[in-house]
Chains A and B, each alone.
Chain A
Amino acid sequence: DPEVTQTPSHQVTQMGQEVILRCVPISNHLYFYWYRQILGQKVEFLVSFYNNEISEKSEIFDDQFSVERPDGSNFTLKIRSTKLEDSAMYFCASRGQVGSEAFFGQGTRLTVV
């Protein structure tokens, strides 16, 4: 079965450092997403990406965050200067079309110390 893959599975970083979370969406999908989940809480939308640009972003997705699809297969989330409150599971998802199921990766656990 096709799947969304994310690397690394766990990232520990010092506050103020930059991190890049990587995702390989399902190959023929067109819509890409980043979500995050703070421990014990619900999954929160960060950003959607379609046709090589951001479609929508949430209030969480401030100037410290950016996304990129550099080579047609990878989809990355960059956090420029991490804060303690950025510690969470970050999930990448992709969809073939709006109105179909979104497939999620296994997540990257980001720990900011």
Chain B
Amino acid sequence: GESVGLHLPTLSVQEGDNSIINCAYSNSASDYFIWYKQESGKGPQFIIDIRSNMDKRQGQRVTVLLNKTVKHLSLQIAATQPGDSAVYFCAENTFYNQGGKLIFGQGTELSVKP
């Protein structure tokens, strides 16, 4: 069965530093990946996505890296700000799945110290 826990992995960084959040996904058939940010009491908010035919995609201050060989995703946040403090989830999806459900990872709590 799935492993669940009450304690999220936590990453604590100093304001202005770069942050790297990692995620291991489970399904080798997954071909679309999304990073979501979730602030306390709110719904997941889209940050950036990447398709399996790419290994890197950049947005504003964020970069997602995909390594399909080891089924690993990372989210890099440049010049981290206090407003970046939140829980970050990766999610995977498969195109063949007509319903398009997203499977979420466990999440990482990012804490930014001013």
Interface residues of A (CB under 8 A from B): 4, 31, 33, 35, 40-45, 48-50, 55-56, 91, 93, 95, 98-99, 101-107
B101 touches A33 (CB 8 A): yes
B99 touches A50 (CB 8 A): yes
13 contacts between A and B (CB under 8 A): A42-B106, A43-B44, A45-B102, A45-B103, A45-B104, A50-B99, A55-B99, A56-B101, A91-B43, A99-B95, A102-B102, A104-B36, A107-B43
B43 touches A101 (CB 8 A): no
Q: How large is the interface on B (under 10, 10 to 19, 20 to 34, 35 or more residues)?
A: 20 to 34
A interface, over-half SS: strand
B101's partner among A48, A101, A107 (CB-CB below 8 A) is A48
Q: Which residues on the A side are within 8 Å of B93 (C-beta)? A: 98-99
The smallest beta-carbon distance between B87 and chain A, in angstroms, is: 9
A101 touches B46 (CB 8 A): yes
The smallest beta-carbon distance between A99 and chain B, in angstroms, is: 5
- Which residue in chain B gives the minimum CB-CB distance to A95? B100
- Which residue in chain A gives the minimum CB-CB distance to B104? A43
A99 touches B104 (CB 8 A): no
B34 touches A99 (CB 8 A): no
A40 touches B43 (CB 8 A): no
Complex formed: what's the CA distance from A50 to B41 in Å? Answer: 28
Q: How does the 8 Å CB contact mask read for B1-13 relative to A, with 1 for contact and 0 for none?
A: 0001111100000
A42 touches B34 (CB 8 A): no
Given pairs A55-B98, A56-B101, 14 additional interface contacts (CB within 8 A) = A40-B8, A42-B4, A42-B107, A43-B44, A48-B100, A48-B101, A50-B98, A50-B100, A98-B98, A98-B99, A99-B95, A101-B49, A104-B45, A107-B42
